[in-house]
Amino acid sequence: MGHAESHLCEMGQPQSVPEFAADLCRQFADRIQAEVVVPAQAAQLADFPVDLDPRLHVALRSRGIEHLYSHQRECWDHLRGGANVVIATPTASGKSLCYNLPVLHDALSHRRKALYLFPTKALAQDQVAELLEINRAANLRIATYTFDGDTPADARSAVRRHGDIVVSNPDMLHRGILPHHTQWAQFFESLAWVVIDEAHVYRGIFGAHVANVLRRLRRITRFYGVSPQFVLCSATLANAAEFAARLIDAPVLPILRSGAPRGEQRVLLWNPPVVNPDLGIRASSRSQVTKIAKAAVERGLHTIVFANSRLAVEVLTKYLKDRFDRDTRLPARVAAYRGGYLPQTRRGTERMLRAGDIDCVVATSALELGVDIGGLDVCVLNGYPGSIAATWQRLGRAGRRNRSALGVLVASSDPLDQYILNPEFFSFATPEHARLDPDQLLVLMEHVRCAAFELPFERGESFGRESLSDLLAYLEQEGVLHRDGGRWHWMADSYQAANVNLARSRTAISW
């Protein structure tokens, strides 16, 4: 370890984020290829809507919310006008209140119901906890339940009968709700809202499947005489309106300008030093990340480290625990977070992060999405995640509201990592456009089968942009559909949704 590195790691006095960033820039100017600064932004406030249910006024004010941000009020106005909306504002800008407010208002005033879809169980649990807090704040008595693979069999009928807000995921909608829609008749007859959070996840082949699941959902809701509004959210969509409209197969109004306050965010592009000039070999990114994270924690800064593999998470966690958690009698200061851990272990880590009881967490992309992990000061990336969207999604996990934040992208020796360190590229690069093709023939055909199992197809009905009559004729020849006049009925013995694996298609996600 060089003299500058020793000096950085030995200084233990508390320090602010800007002071720490300045120290890094001063001591390691030769390693910092560029510094990108996102300036602070003051809050842009708006009044509560005059027609908002008074009980929600009480609930919000009890939680210290006296005004809405401008984008939250804009979303309310669009939704009250009957539009579908996509909210594409930065991380921690209060997107959940954009949809919770109209949903709770309708649940209180008209007993209308909502279906929330999240890509992970952690996000679903996070949202349920938020809704339960609002409920308790003013005794709203709005029944909010999760419905996923962990929901006990004896609780599922209660969710179907009494749920005002049902929080689930696309796979459960595909396998556990739509094929059994008759058991959900009471819920569907009052369904007014469908919320799709972290919408950028639903791209590529996985997105094509989810788009067709949503087509099936809209087909079922039409059968029950309702047409719910859709609210979609993402912090990293360059083509928000186009992508959202493709996903739900309906026009969507975008909300792109955030009114939430934001502290200054600095991003350092860090290239490890050359250790063998003859061969052009640089120090490992892992060694640099460890030094930066150690220094940040020693300065009293709450830190998150992202790695691109589970193995890297475990190695980095060990290095950091060797420094901060030698005495096992004391509470741990460093934790790891990745897929493969038990759900209760991950939930416990999330709770400790929100409470500020952990100084540093090392995570894979499992913490990239918007689980509430409280206020963090520093985010260190061990290598480029593979897309600009994922990079900013991770960097956005540090800094909330008016807090300053520091992000450090430490490059590996990979040629793509080295290219990304070009300051002219990174400074002006925008998140990638998300793409999906729900009319890809093999995907479409699988969901036509699922839809036929759920409800007979009628002559003149459409499903996607391909010729439905040709698809139905083919399935009739295959012996899985029976035509009776102007209707096609499912006649095979199989439970079709069980044969379409959304989870497997998720591994094929690409930008």
Domains of the chain and CATH, by start: 3-30+272-420 (3.40.50.300), 45-255 (3.40.50.300), 441-506 (no CATH)
In angstroms, rounded to a whole number, what is the distance separating the alpha carbons of residues 199 and 213?
14
Beta-sheet pairing, 85-87 with 303-307? unpaired
H-run or E-run covering 25: helix 17-27
pLDDT at 87: 97
Counting every residue, how long is the chain? 511
**In whole angstroms, what is the distance from residue 303 CA to residue 323 CA?**
15
CA distances from residue 117 to 120, 174, 231, 373, 484 in whole angstroms, order as listed: 9, 11, 10, 20, 36
Q: Where are the alpha helices (DSSP H) in 111-237?
A: 121-138, 153-162, 170-172, 185-189, 204-223
Is 361 in contact with 367 (CB distance < 8 Å)? yes
The predicted pLDDT at position 12 comes to: 53
Distance CA(500)–CA(478), nearest Å, equals: 18
Query: Residue type for 345, please?
Result: T
Which of 151, 81, 145, 135 shows the shortest CA–CA distance to 113? 145
For each of the chain's 511 residues, which pLDDT tens digit applies? Answer: 444 454 454 445 678 999 999 999 999 999 999 999 989 999 999 999 999 999 999 999 998 899 999 999 999 999 999 999 999 998 888 899 999 999 999 999 999 999 999 998 878 888 888 899 999 988 999 999 999 988 888 899 999 999 999 999 999 999 999 999 999 999 999 999 999 999 999 999 999 999 999 999 999 999 999 999 999 999 888 899 999 999 999 999 999 999 999 889 999 999 999 988 888 789 999 999 999 999 999 999 999 999 999 999 999 999 999 999 999 889 999 999 998 888 889 888 988 988 889 999 999 988 877 677 777 999 999 999 999 988 988 998 888 767 899 999 999 988 899 998 887 788 778 888 999 999 999 999 999 999 999 999 999 899 988 889 999 999 999 999 999 989 999 998 878 898 898 877 765 544 4
- Find, among 114, 135, 138, 134, the residue nearest to 54 by Cα: 138
Burial of 347 per CB tally in 10 Å (0-12, 13-18, 19+): middle
SS3 135: helix
pTM score of the predicted model: 0.90
Count CB-CB contacts under 10 A for residue 111.
11
User: End-to-end alpha-carbon separation of the chain, Å?
Assistant: 39
Q: What is the pLDDT of residue 253?
A: 97
* Contact partners, residue 430, CB within 8 Å, separation at least 6: 238, 388
Pick from 168, 164, 147, 172: nearest CA to 103: 164
CB 196 within 8 A of CB 117: yes
What is the predicted pLDDT for the residue at 363? 94
469 near 443, Cβ under 8 Å?
no
Q: Which pLDDT value is given to residue 465? A: 86
Task: Give the whole-angstrom CA distance, residue 334 versus residue 362.
Answer: 8
pLDDT value of residue 8: 52
**427, two tokens:** 């400074």
The pLDDT score that the predictor gives to residue 149 is 85
